[in-house]
Structure 1
Amino acid sequence: MSFPYSGDSLEQFLSRARMMSAVAVPAYLALLLFLTKEEGWHWSFLVLCVLPPVAAVSGFLGKRDIRPGLAVAALVMAIAPLPLIGGLEALF
């Protein structure tokens, strides 16, 4: 697999994916506490408790095993709770 800029771009991408997915966990936990105080028990509780830790583990595994696809999946799972919460709250 070739990367257009340099050999460091894969390492840099994997590092950023790992850190962004790890930082998402405390951010979503804070959002979870805010939402449960303001709105009570909703589906957002499940979304915020499941996806961020899975994303963090995927990010670390993607960095350790040098798997860019897993790192991309970690980034998607780290970003996915926000649209999911909006969609779930709009339905109910």
Structure 2
Amino acid sequence: MFPYDDIDSMETFLSRVRFGTLMTVPAYLALLFFFAREEGWHWSFLVFCVLPPLTAFLGFQAKRDIRPGLGMAALALAVAPLPLVGAVEFL
């Protein structure tokens, strides 16, 4: 095994985090407009407006500063709006 394999895998992971979190922004904005049109004003509006740009920012910071823990947090926050909106709508 070459000593650069870990560095390459870290670079690949952080690149995927950056692009993955960036792709959540338009997807969640589309869901936001759909929910706002179908159901009116709900808490989902705040979740879909605040969390996706925050996750994209954290994804870019993780790539720039080479911080895998921050990258994992960004991925967790990128997935968080869907269960959070489901829980709020269930209440």
Q: Which category of TM-score, normalised to the shorter sequence, fits these structures?
A: over 0.9
The residue that corresponds to 1:65 in the other structure is 65
If the length of structure 2 is used for normalisation, what is the TM-score? Answer: 0.93
Secondary structure of the 2:27 match is helix
User: Which sections of structure 2, spanning at least 5 residues, go unmatched?
Assistant: none
| C-alpha distance in structure 1 between counterparts of 2:72 and 2:35, whole Å | 27
Q: Kindly indicate whether residue 77 of structure 2 is the aligned counterpart of residue 77 of structure 1.
A: yes
CA distance in structure 2 between the partners assigned to 1:90 and 1:41 by the alignment: 15
Separation in 1, partners of 2:72, 2:25: 16
Q: In the TM superposition, what is the alpha-carbon distance from 1:33 to its structure 2 partner?
A: 0.2
Q: How many residues align?
A: 87
Partners in 1 of 2:34 and 2:90 — Cα distance?
18
Q: Which amino acid aligns with 2:63?
A: K
Larger helix proportion of the pair = 2
Q: Which amino acid aligns with 1:74?
A: A
TM-score normalised over the length of structure 1: 0.92
RMSD between superposed Cα atoms in Å: 0.9
Cα distance in 1 for residues equivalent to 2:15 and 2:88: 31
Determine what percentage of the aligned residue pairs are the same residue.
63
Q: How far apart, CA to CA, are the structure 1 residues paired with 2:73 and 2:53?
A: 13
Q: 5 Å matches for 1:1-92? A: 6-91=6-91
Taking the aligned partners of 1:7 and 1:89, their CA distance within structure 2 comes to 42
Q: Helix, strand or coil for the counterpart of 2:41?
A: coil
